[in-house]
Structure 1
């Protein structure tokens, strides 16, 4: 087994975070964080997981803006990481942080009822 997909995923995560912070100037992109990257074993596809802080409309507009910028992002990743074949990228909204917050709220609610 090769470790190349994991190394490429980490490189994409690092560069994508930098792109999000410094290069993508679309006003629709809210407070977004790259939470993870999965690269297929053949290095042809990459799923970029994005967590967005805000309400439902802000999340939708951020995901639309990121989807619109896929070509630019893919080009920049290829230039920065110097890949011959840049993986096809897709952005996926990561709601795991919201689930974690909800679980914590429920636990606090149960805890306050027991006291």
Structure 2
């Protein structure tokens, strides 16, 4: 039962985080951020937020620094919007799956060109 609730809270957090990033945060380091997923623990104490950032490694690090600085504001906004007794602690991670998929696709294309 707790996994169902954790998944539901994670999906709601994903929507709210996307809205907060787009409309509420004014930090110029936090641009072009997409929330790809939120995994909430069964006890709703922690949330791993997976993001992608358009830009190079320097832009990614700047975005992570901006998100770390705004973490308190983000948590308070999530708490207001979702109305949980205790808002989960947020941990931001880069979602490398898109880049990984692009690398695999490029390798497959190279193999096909070499085979022809």
- For residue 6 of structure 1, give the secondary structure of its aligned residue in structure 2: helix
Q: 1:1-25: CA deviations, max 9, x gaps?
A: 3311011000100000000111111
- CA–CA distance in 2 between the matches of 1:85 and 1:96? 30
Correspondence list, 1:1-115, <5 A? 1-2=1-2, 3-115=4-116
SS state at 1:85 partner: coil
Residues paired across the two proteins, number:
115
Deviation at 1:109, TM superposition (A): 0.6
Question: Which segments of 5 or more consecutive residues in structure 2 lack a partner in the other structure?
Answer: none
RMSD: 0.8
Superposed CA offset, 1:6-45 (max 9, x none): 1100010000000011111110113110000000011100
Distance 1:109 1:31 in 2: 30
TM-score scaled by length of structure 1: 0.96
Where has structure 1 moved over 6 Å in runs of 4 or more? Answer: none
Matched residue SS, 1:12: helix
Q: Secondary structure at the match of 2:33?
A: strand
Gaps in structure 1 of 5+ consecutive residues = none
